[in-house]
Amino acid sequence: MAEQELIRQGAEARVYITTIDGKQAIAKQRFSKGYRHAELDAKLTRGRLNQEARSLKRCREHGIRVPDVIRVDKDSATLFIEFVSGPTIKEWILASDNEAREKELMASIGQILHTMHSFNIVHGDLTTSNMILDSEGQVVLIDFGLSQVSFSAEDKAVDLYVLERAFISTHPNSERLFATVLESYDSSDEARSILKRLEDVRQRGRKRDMSG
């Protein structure tokens, strides 16, 4: 394995570009939290590492485009996954002036999220920075570090709400873009119950905003 190049450090992990078997790969290494009891910290870190790998594998089993899992190194708390080249959806939208293609991509995102939620996978950190437009022009979801398996309409609604807030804070014309995501998402009775729950989540969010 080649030398690693740090490309991002978040609250939970450091992300590197590396090379495995002559191909670029991503190494995501979770680090310990000094404020937690060592045994508990190790258990939580291992649990999140395994959950992320399981979520990625579960997505691929159901035809959702995500990076392939190459290896899980429990000793170093590192997840090695396929490197997906291409701009993030955030970068693409900010540079785009093609409304027809924007609408097509937003509809694709809605379909992807509907499929993901129908198999009870909750991403946990949906933003346009955690979506990549690959070389085939397809949307790839990344960064499942906060993911979980959940049958709860509330959890799925919160997933959508997090994405909506990301659109509002990042993109001009966000209402139009996110409306297309929801139109594409709304294709079953279960989806409609999730969207109804989304309204409740929005109301709670507005109350928090007003109360400071």
Catalytic residue numbers, as ranges: 125
Residues contacting 164, CB < 8 A, separation 6+: 178, 202
Give dist(CA 82, CA 17) in Å, integer: 10
C-alpha 112: how far from chain center:
11
Give dist(CA 157, CA 25) in Å, integer: 32
- Cβ atoms of residues 14 and 31 within 8 Å: yes
Q: Which residue has the tokens 């450091």?
A: 14
Give dist(CA 130, CA 14) in Å, integer: 15
